[in-house]
Amino acid sequence: MGNKQTIFTDEQLDAYQDCTFFTRKEILRLHGRYHELAPHLVPMDYTNDPDVKIPLALIVNMPELKENPFRNRIVESFSEDGEGNLSFNDFVDMFSVLSEMAPRELKAIYAFKIYDFNTDNFICKEDLEKTLNKLTREELTPEEVNLVCEKAIEEADLDGDNKLSFADFENMISKAPDFLRYL
Amino acid sequence: MCVCVCVCVRARVRGSQPASQPEPAQARRLVPGGASLSEAPPGTLEGKRVRRRDDGHIPPLPPKKSRFPARPQPSAHMDLDSVFYTHQHGLPSNPLLDQLPSYQSLLYRRKSSSASSTKRRSSMRGRFGSTSSWRWKGEKLEERPRSPQLNRPVHELTLSIEEKRRNKEQRMEQDKDLSSWKQWRLNTHRHLKRLKEDGMEVLSALQLWRGDIHVIEGMFGTGILSYFSFLRFLVLLNFVIFLLMFGFVMLPIIAVPYASGNSTFKVHDDAECSDYPSTSRQGLVVFHQYILDLLSGTGFLEKTYLFYGYYKVEAVHFPKFKYNLPLAYVLVTIAYLFLSLIWIVKRSAAGFKQNLIQDEDRFQSFCNKIFAGWDFCITDENAARLKRSSLLYELKTDLEEERIKQKIAGRTRKEKCRIYLLRLVLNLFVVTVLAACFYSIYKATVLSQESQLTDCNFIVKLIVEYLPSIVITLANFITPLMFTLIIQFEDYSPAFEIRFTLMRCVFMRLASIGVLLFSLWSQIAKCEDGNCSCGYNHKLYPCWESRVGQEMYKLMIFDFIIIGAVTIFVEFPRKIIVTYCDCGLAKWLGQQEFAIPQNVLEIVYGQTICWIGTFYCPLLPAISTIKYFIVFYIKKMTLVNNCRPATRPFRASSSNFFFLGVLLIGLALACVPIIVSIAQISCSKACGPFVNYATSWEVVPKTISQLPEELRSFLMALSSEAFAISLFVITCLAMFYVIALAGAHKAVVNQLREQLAVEGRDKRFLIQKLVQAQRKTMRSLSSTTMQDRHRPLYHGAENSSSEGLFTQLPPVSASSV
């Protein structure tokens, strides 16, 4: 292209373009946002792949994530160590999956990870209760929460183990009309 | 083989199961021969089985008798289930599972056909469990078979970016081995893809109002976003209709002096009917007369491009060809109706599919709300708070609906009779109200038409001109309030209440236009001595199409004025009162909510007027485009400044379909007057392109009769009864076939579901057995080295505290496998 930018090499940008759903401009913009989060930590020059990770606390304060009740889980699901510290690669990956160009199946996998609070590869009733409480900020009574969780499991659980495995989740998500629009 | 498998609990194997199990409330019956139960697994209530992969709990095999054994399974199968446990970070503890074909099948899935985005591809996905472990442990990919992944683009894999890069480099390495032709093809493919992505970026930047709509989406969520994108769609639709009209009807006439053509028109023989008195004001004209003319399309506006009457052209002769303007006029009318239909249907196709799925599975609503309820695009704190409260409201409504359903199911006969009677009475009341409204519209139109000739002062004249519009607007303001009040007594479920009220409002809005047209036509066709010599009242309405066009023009202008006036005079003061005044009135009013259904009805009403009116007023689409353009900014301004989002949420998924559905109803309604007036009503002899034809449609048969022989006979065959009937029969057959196909598919889906459950059960049993056998072998090997006691295999019901692995089941279950 016309502009000379010195943040990434051309190969790096190419690789990013292939590995995510973003264009060059968007990747550069993302790098700008990443840099803004911790200017002293993040170098402007990424040509030699520095190993820099931004902690969870800084990332969840981004305006895009600030109001999201699942922000902690989102960031944790995309981090390598499971603690929420994102390198730039993880950062770009996260936004790539959350962008509107990512296909439904990809989003479904990560959505499952996000809603699986105890990371046991199942969404059990406790996970559901936590999800619901985060969604409604605990404004439902415990009986209502219980009832709603039970109904949700009843709707989606195909194999009868009272938990949602990924297969159950994906089957249910494929029928959920709002999933693509909202996620 | 009678396999006795004995249940033993205690040892929670390997301690790595972090999820706690909910205690089922029911008492558990022990499997005979089983030991005590310390924990309760989630019960297999219906005998449905787990599929594939690592999951934590596998209830033991249910007894064969019923597919849905009532009893939950004892928990003691912890040990057995241990074959399926995963480590904390998701690493499967059993390499056997990795090799199962079904796990391998997770690597690629069936191609899903999602039509919404061009970038959606067929699916992908690495195996979930192993992916997570690999992500967190950074292992390499090479162990997985490569072939299924070759077809999938790199960016759709669920791996971290380093792994995707490695994957891509591997692929590039492999590509180097291909022939140069294939390499060239791959390279071109890549370049084209890049080019396409850049092109899409440019195109999307050109999209109208993209930035504004993004801001609205962020502040108010996707429900209101769908309203504004609907408005944008209407602007585009109207602009395209205007281009059609302009290109085929106006441009030839405008181009006549420049293209050295000349237009001809034949004067009709009957001098009486073709007398079109001049409408320009003579003599000294007061200034406000011009304003009146501008607002009602009379006077200097009447004989302009604006109205039908100006196009008194039979044919335009250009040097090379002859342009048949009347034919073009009729065909363009039909064309724009068709175009609107196709465009709307195409837009609503995606929403319709979703709606169909959603309606079928009404039990999905809870899951949908929990997992897909939060709008990830919200960035504003207030919007987040509102989304939360709307989700809360939705959940509570759903719980309420459950309760009401139970209540309805428990109604006695007497109560049912009472409810039905009440509903009947209220519906009759609604019908009376509607009839009263329609009658008042009729009267207002008649009055307006009759009083236009008298001379009054300016304001009164204006009111008289706009009387039908005023009455329609008033009726459409009062009736929704009445409907919302009435529906509360009819005792429907909340969701149905909303829908039914909406239906009634839609009907009221759109039918009022029909009533207006009907009353107008009854005036036009009413002559003094009963029999109209020209087919219409030529004394009062020498050019009745222009008069109808004027009414449509007035409706449109008034609609626009009302939208602006309501915003300025109602919503802004309300905002000021609520913000600055702390009185009871402010509390009672509350801040304005952006009520999506009412706003949508408003713009659909405007669009219906545009569709009907374009035939009589060819410039109406242009006016409509400008009107909707301005309305966008008005609505955006009022939304941002005055409104808070509705506490009653309007589902974004179904809203798109709702908007387009209402628009389709409007289109259908708009087609009726146009078809009637083209085909039935005799056109005026004094103006317009159809001076020499009895009806507007007549131009088509006359043109066909002048076509060459083969074409004529082909077109005649198309319009013959034989063709129409056979087309109808074929369409019916196709429809029945498709319906039958859908029913068959549903049955197949249910069957497959059951089959899956059974298969899963089988597989589970086999895996358990296999793993036990493995463990036995390993243990016996290690025990020989460590000189432990031998354990007998497969015999008896040995319950050891740490390692009991056998479950006793009644023999009948063994035969189930």
Tokens representing A149?
Answer: 């969780």
Q: Residue A104, CB half-sphere, CA atoms under 13 Å: how many?
A: 24
Cα of B357 to nearest chain A Cα, Å:
7
Alpha helices in B680-720 (DSSP H): 699-705, 709-718
Q: In which band, very low, low, confident or very high, does the pLDDT at B607 lie, cut at 50, 70 and 90?
A: very high
Q: What percent of chain B has pLDDT over 90?
A: 15
Separation CA B61–CA B38 (nearest Å): 19
Nearest CA in chain B to A104: B120
Residue contact B373–A135, C-beta within 8 A: yes
CA-to-CA distance for B236 and B788, rounded, in angstroms? 83
Task: Tell me which of A75, A158, A181, A183 to substitute to probe the interface with B (most B C-beta atoms closer than 10 Å).
Answer: A181
Least confident of B127-131, B231-235, B705-709, B752-756: B127-131
> Is B537 or B523 the better-scoring residue by pLDDT?
B523
Contact B124 A103 (CB under 8 A): yes
Q: Of B29, B36, B31, B39, which is closest to residue B8 (Cα–Cα)?
A: B36
Q: What is the pLDDT of residue B208?
A: 80
Residues in chain B within 8 Å Cβ distance of A21 = 119, 155
Residue of B nearest to A11 (CA): B165
Q: Give the residue, B620 or B399, on which the prediction is more confident.
A: B620
Residue of B nearest to A66 (CA): B379
Report chain B's mean pLDDT, rounded to a whole number. 73
pLDDT at B800 over 80: no
Contact between B125 and A109 using a beta-carbon 8 Å cutoff: yes
Q: Residue B86: its chain A contacts at CB < 8 A?
A: 120-121
Report the pLDDT value the prediction gives residue B738, as an integer from 0 to 100. 95
Q: Rounded to whole angstroms, what are the CA distances from A1 to A10, A25, B198, B199, B796?
A: 10, 10, 11, 14, 76
At residue B187, the pLDDT reads 85
Closest by Cα among B62, B186, B219 to B645: B219
CB-CB neighbours of B459 under 10 Å? 10
Q: Coil, strand or helix: which one is A162? A: coil
* Inter-residue contact B228 to B636 (CB < 8 Å): yes
CA distance B130 to B87: 11
Nearest to B78 by CA among B19, B130, B29, B4: B19
Phi-psi region of B536 (alpha: psi -120 to 50; beta: other; left: phi over 0): beta
Tokens of B112: 């899903």
Residues in contact with B438: Cβ distance below 8 Å, sequence separation at least 6, in sequence order: B511, B512, B515
What CA–CA distance (Å, rounded) separates B616 from B307?
Answer: 6
- Please tell me the distance in Å from A37's CA to the nearest CA on chain B: 17
Phi, psi dihedral angles at B24 (to 5 degrees): -65, 145
CA–CA separation, B681 vs B179, rounded Å? 72
Q: What letter does residue B82 receive in the DSSP assignment? A: G
Q: What is d(CA B775, CA A95) in angstroms, rounded to the nearest whole number? A: 45
For B635-691, write each residue's pLDDT tens digit.
988 888 877 766 565 655 566 777 888 899 999 999 998 998 888 888 888 888 888
| Nearest-CA distance A174 → chain B (Å) | 10
Band the pLDDT of B97: cuts 50, 70, 90.
low
CB pair distance less than 8 Å for A166 and B128: yes
Strands B592-593 and B643-644: parallel
Nearest Cα to Cα of residue A159 among B435, B413, B48, B161: B48
Q: Give the least confident one: B283-292, B699-708, B792-801.
A: B792-801
Query: In the structure encoding, which two tokens stand for residue B238, read together?
Result: 């109207």
Chain B partners within 8 Å of A176 (Cβ): 364, 367-368, 371-372
A66 interaction partners in chain B (CB closer than 8 Å)? 379, 381
According to DSSP, residue B308 is labeled: G
Distance CA B565, CA B664 (A): 28
Residue A50 distance to chain B (closest CA, Å): 13
| CA pair distance A55, A75, nearest whole angstrom | 10
Question: HEC profile for B536-599?
Answer: CCCCCCCCHHHHHHHHHHHHHHHHHHHHHHHHHHHHHHHHHHHHHCCCHHHHHHCCEECCHHHH
Nearest Cα to Cα of residue B338 among B409, B244, B211: B244
Q: At CA B739, angle to CA B736 and CA B741, rounded to 5?
A: 110
- Rounded to the nearest angstrom, the minimum Cα separation between B86 and chain A is 8
Asked whether residue A37 carries a pLDDT value surpassing 80, the answer given is yes
Could you give the angle at the alpha carbon of B223 between the alpha carbons of B222 and B224, nearest 5°?
95
Question: Is the model's pLDDT at B111 over the cut of 80?
Answer: no
Using alpha carbons only, what angle is made at residue B441 by residues B439 and B445, rounded to the nearest 5 degrees? Answer: 120
Q: For residue A103, give the DSSP letter.
A: -
Partners of B364 on chain A (C-beta within 8 Å) are 155-156, 172, 175-176
Rg (CA), chain A: 19
User: Distance between CA B602 and CA B618 in Å, rounded?
Assistant: 22
Q: First and final CA of chain B: distance in angstroms? A: 10
Residue B444 has pLDDT above 70, yes or no: yes
Contact B333, B248 (CB under 8 A): no
- What integer is the mean pLDDT of B319-339? 89
Entry pTM: 0.67
Is B373 in contact with B394 (CB distance < 8 Å)? yes
> Which of A98, A85, A26, A12 has its CA nearest to residue A54?
A85
Contact: B136, A82; criterion CB under 8 Å:
yes
Distance from CA of A164 to the nearest CA of B (A): 10
**pLDDT digit string, tens, across residues A124-146:** 888 888 888 888 887 888 888 88
Chains A, B: CB contacts within 8 A come to 257
Residue of B nearest to A82 (CA): B136
Query: Is B158 within 8 Å of A109 (Cβ atoms)?
Result: yes
Residue A50 three-state SS: coil
Q: What is the pairing mode between strands A86-87 and B592-593?
A: unpaired
Bridge partners of residue A53, in order along the sequence:
A87
Which of A118, A159, A178 is facing B49, going by the closest CB pair? A159
B92 bridge partner residues: B86
Q: Report the chain A residue with the minimal C-alpha distance to residue B217.
A: A182
Contact status, residue B363 vs residue B369, Cβ threshold 8 Å: no
**B440 vs A67 pLDDT, higher one:** B440
The per-residue pLDDT for B340 is 94
- Report the C-alpha gap between B234 and B231 in whole angstroms: 5
